[in-house]
Structure 1
Amino acid sequence: MPKGLLKQGWLASARKCISPHFNSRPTDEVSLLVIHNISLPAGCFGLPHIDALFQGCLDTEADDSFAELAGLQVSAHFLIRRDGEVVQYVSCDDRAWHAGISEFNGRTGCNDFAIGIELEGTDSSGYTDEQYHQLMLLTLELMAQYPMINVNNIVGHCDIAPGRKTDPGFSFDWSRYKQAIAVA
């Protein structure tokens, strides 16, 4: 992915699936990258339910497990599907609603200054080579556009909401990912 493909916070190569679940950042600061995982229903991949959730139109009767998601207003900036497709829901210049109650380096409300990337997966499912490749490319683009994001400011949801969240889970290969962005 060549540098500069992020225009007004939108990645040119990503499929756009705009979410209504965002608002303006309180400042222009973008200094944290948070890695998550998601699958709907849990452990099922390649279905349209993640897009529907982030767009606020999930049919909560489509699966019994969706009942608890009724009325939930949540989004992420990006989703990387199992096949490597990158989907963008919110401009990186805006605040997506992905971190919830969170803290990083003594600062609360990580949504204010973070970009959230969801990986289609579960804590235990492992991630595909395509996902790691796209995550590395996307991370490098974000680091180029938002210089306050560096290797020390890339965390899992579990790191900013310990005890509440576990993603991206033990199956995420942090060493592989961090080596890839350091070598590139």
Structure 2
Amino acid sequence: MISNDGYLAAATQCPSPNTNQRPVDHSVSLLVIHNISLPPGQFGTGCVQSFFTNQLDPAQHPYFQTIAELKVSAHLFIERDGTVTQFVPFGERAWHAGASSFHGVANCNDYSIGIELEGCDNIAYTDAQYEALAEVSREILRAYPEITLERIVGHNDIAPGRKTDPGEAFDWPRFRASLNTR
């Protein structure tokens, strides 16, 4: 269930400072699926949470020195075991899409919800992740009727040539089929 103030009841709350208000002339109408792992290819480190809350220690891993100054967030993060963490309420703008466009409308952060899956483009996602993603996506579809099945996309779809996630390992047919079972 999603509260009136945009919080998912089933999620652990971990507020990110990397958020701001959506433009008043934009309603939530797009769902974007991403992947992330920190360090790259490593799971269960807690580093994604640190990154989205600006607490990532650049000395912890050489890769972190290249991203430590970035200010990014997502609405939700789904770990390999299906644990869901919410960083930004759905009514606010998370900073997940970067330079992006969908159907000719730029700045997807203005009108989208971003969900990060703990993973990599070429490593299969877990059953627990697909189950959690389907559950939260069905809640989002109920709460935001402008998001249709056609308006659920990958980061690669809104930033082609710049982004590749959720990658070839993401099973779109499986995910889309799970949304039809309400």
TM-score band by shorter chain is over 0.9
User: Residues 19-50 of structure 1, C-alpha deviation per residue, up to 9 Å, x if partnerless?
Assistant: 00000000250000000000000110001110
2:102 paired residue number: 104
State the distance in 1 between where 2:57 and 2:147 align.
Answer: 36
State the distance in 1 between where 2:118 and 2:35 align.
Answer: 6
**Deviation of the 1:98 alpha carbon:** 0.1
Q: 1:4-153 alignment to 2 at 5 Å?
A: 4-27=1-24, 29-153=27-151
CA contact (8 A) 1:99 1:111 kept: yes
Give the fraction of aligned pairs with identical amino acids, expressed as a percent: 50
**Deviation of the 1:183 alpha carbon:** 2.7
**Deviation of the 1:124 alpha carbon:** 0.5
**Deviation of the 1:71 alpha carbon:** 1.2
Q: Which range moves more in the overlay, 31-40 or 8-17?
A: 8-17
Residue 28 of structure 2 aligns to a residue whose secondary structure is coil
User: Residues 61-113 of structure 1, C-alpha deviation per residue, up to 9 Å, x if partnerless?
Assistant: 10011111121100000000000000000000000000000000000000000
Q: Which runs of structure 1 show a deviation greater than 2 angstroms over 4 or more consecutive aligned residues?
A: 4-7
State the distance in 2 between where 1:117 and 1:32 align.
Answer: 11
State the distance in 1 between where 2:68 and 2:108 align.
Answer: 24
State the distance in 2 between where 1:42 and 1:7 align.
Answer: 35
Residue 63 of structure 1 aligns to a residue whose secondary structure is coil
**Deviation of the 1:12 alpha carbon:** 1.2
State the distance in 1 between where 2:2 and 2:92 align.
Answer: 17
State the distance in 1 between where 2:49 and 2:79 align.
Answer: 11
2:162 paired residue number: 164
CA contact (8 A) 1:6 1:141 kept: no
Instruction: For 2:134, give the aligned amino acid.
Output: M
Instruction: For 1:97, give the aligned amino acid.
Output: W
CA RMSD of aligned residues (A): 0.8
2:172 paired residue number: 174
Q: Structure 2: state its 5+ residue gaps.
A: none
**Deviation of the 1:182 alpha carbon:** 1.5
Residue 135 of structure 1 aligns to a residue whose secondary structure is helix
Q: Structure 1: state its 5+ residue gaps.
A: none
User: Residues 120-171 of structure 1, C-alpha deviation per residue, up to 9 Å, x if partnerless?
Assistant: 0000011000000000000000010000011000000000000000000000
State the distance in 2 between where 1:167 and 1:145 align.
Answer: 25
Number of residue pairs matched by the alignment: 181
CA contact (8 A) 2:51 2:68 kept: no
